[in-house]
Structure 1
Amino acid sequence: MKVAVAIFFIFSSLISFAQEASEIVRKADEKMRGSTMRTEMVIRVFRPAWSREMQCKIWMKGNDQAMILITSPAKDKGIVFLKRKKEVWNWMPVLERTIKLPPSMMSQSWMGTDFTNDDLIKESSVVEDYNHTIIGDTVIRNRSCYIILMIPKPTAAIIWSKVIVCIDKEDFLELHSRFYDDDGRLINTMNSYDIKMMHDRIIPTRFEMIPADKKGQKTEMIYKSVLYNKPIDDGFFSTEKMKTLN
């Protein structure tokens, strides 16, 4: 009887820790997204021999709808990405053609950066598609953080075998993330900087993605402006709207 009771309490504790970890990830995700989000950002790509910059506008509604418009440079201006639930489209104004992206494209580089299509378009959900476990604590830039292990659920189409994230305990800011492939190798590391008040909340405003095996290479994503929780009609997220954005 005592053994059974002990097993029950151990099992209950494991469930409690898993629920706590999932709640921390959910709060961090909601902190960055809100119910809706409109943002303008600069993306800078750094390579050993060159660098380039692009600017874009992003609209998001919940976890299921997103639109990204490239506004510069001139050669990329007007390119649009649309996500609705698990489906993703790309509008190419030069070709006057809308292309539906297959799931296999989610692991590919987004616009030649070190972010994947999934990083920007968020086909997968860090809340719904992973199991979460708190595995420790750390301090990042004077902020006490949870270390959380995220393992994809068996039914989720995830490009990573695991992700380790460090989330600030006070403001639920994701400050550091490491992404691993199916062989357990570190592929990318993301760090977050420049914590500021943007609209109605404190968030990191500069994100740096660094590939593990490509020396001198990284991509920065910098928020210029953010507007949270302003209504966006569902009809905005349509393949027809992609062709008229500005």
Structure 2
Amino acid sequence: MRPATILYFMFSFFSAGAQDAKEIVRKADEKMRGATMQAEIIIKTVRPTWSREMQCKIWTKGNQLSMILIQSPAKDKGTVFLKKRKEVWNWMPVLERNIKLPPSMMSQSWMGTDFTNDDLVKESSVVEDYNQTILGDTVIQNKSCYIIRMIPKPATAVVWSKVIICIDKTDFLELNNRFFDDDGQLINTMNSYDIKLMHDRIIPTRFEMIPADKKGQKTIMIYSNIQYNKPIDDNFFSLEKMKTLK
């Protein structure tokens, strides 16, 4: 076989692998999001000497529009986060004003939890902002999974320098995510549990975000109710709507 032919087949092989990895990530992302999603969630922040609980409502449409309303505790009630394409806004009822969050705040803690602002409002896209590569296979919760490495595309503003995702091969469920900083150090690990039928699909309903270097600390997010593909008008995701959500 001529060298040029060998190079062609090698290029085709690696290109197909990259495409497959991206498609796997896309399927997992779309499985959790749907065309639209409306959900009620409980977020428990656990620390060695205390814990607290929040109740929230979430609305999403594709990967460009999302809204989060905090319903409790009382001191945070009415706080709203809006993602509209690449812009992220925060409505603070105490101040009666909308604040636009700069990209530099995406890596900061969301409401004192172990999730970042980007984890919750998804300013970055796991499909479009990263290059994905299949590293191998593993078994998690008795499910065969792909191990996929995600590296940010050049000049893309994202929080993590690398993300390793383990996705179930059958139902395309994200069961384990590991997040790394610019020095290659593991910062957070997210595990997914309690897989069940919610509305029209099987998904994990409990997620635990665990910091690598903070013993006894984690944040648990539980989906208590969820509806997929119910029409939501784009105008719902507006700065004015943030002020009137209940």
Both proteins in one fold, TM over 0.5: yes
Code of the residue aligned with 1:139 in structure 2: it is: V
Aligned to 2:194: 194
Instruction: Give 1:171-210 correspondences, 5 Å limit.
Output: 171-210=171-210
Which residue of 2 is the match for residue 126 of structure 1?
Answer: 126
CA distance in 2 between partners of 1:154 and 1:62 (Å): 24
Per-residue CA deviations over 1:70-96 (Å, capped at 9, x if unaligned) read 000111000000010000110011111
Moved over 4 A (4+): none
Matched, 1:220 2:210: no
The equivalent of 1:235 in structure 2 is: 235
In the alignment, which residue of structure 2 is the partner of 1:18? 18
| Residue segments in structure 1 that go unaligned for 5+ positions in a row | none
Instruction: Give the AA of the match of 2:187.
Output: I
In the alignment, does 2:170 pair up with 1:170? Answer: yes
Distance in 2 (alpha carbons) for counterparts of 1:224 and 1:159? 28
- Determine the C-alpha separation between the residues in 1 that align with 2:2 and 2:147: 33
Give the whole-Å Cα distance in 1 for the aligned partners of 2:131 and 2:198. Answer: 30
How many residues were matched structurally? 246
In 1, the alpha carbon distance for the partners of 2:6 and 2:68 equals 52
TM-score (norm 2): 0.99
| Percent identity of paired positions between Structure 1 and Structure 2 | 77
Q: Could you tell me how far 1:156 is from its partner in structure 2?
A: 1.3
Structure 2 gap segments, 5+ residues each: none
**Pairwise mapping of residues 24-43 of structure 1 onto structure 2 (< 5 A)?**
24-43=24-43
CA distance in 2, matches of 1:92, 1:177: 31
Structure 2 match to 1:138: 138
- Separation (CA, whole Å) in 1 of partners of 2:173 and 2:62: 18
Secondary structure of 1:148 counterpart: strand
2:112 is aligned with 1:112: yes
Q: Per the alignment, in what secondary structure is the counterpart of residue 120 of structure 1? A: helix
Q: Name the SS of the counterpart of 1:107 in structure 2.
A: coil
Query: With structure 1 as the length reference, what TM-score do the two structures score?
Result: 0.99
Cα shift at 1:155? 2.6
Cα distance per residue 1:138-186 (max 9 Å; x no partner) = 0001000000000000131111110000000000000001000000000
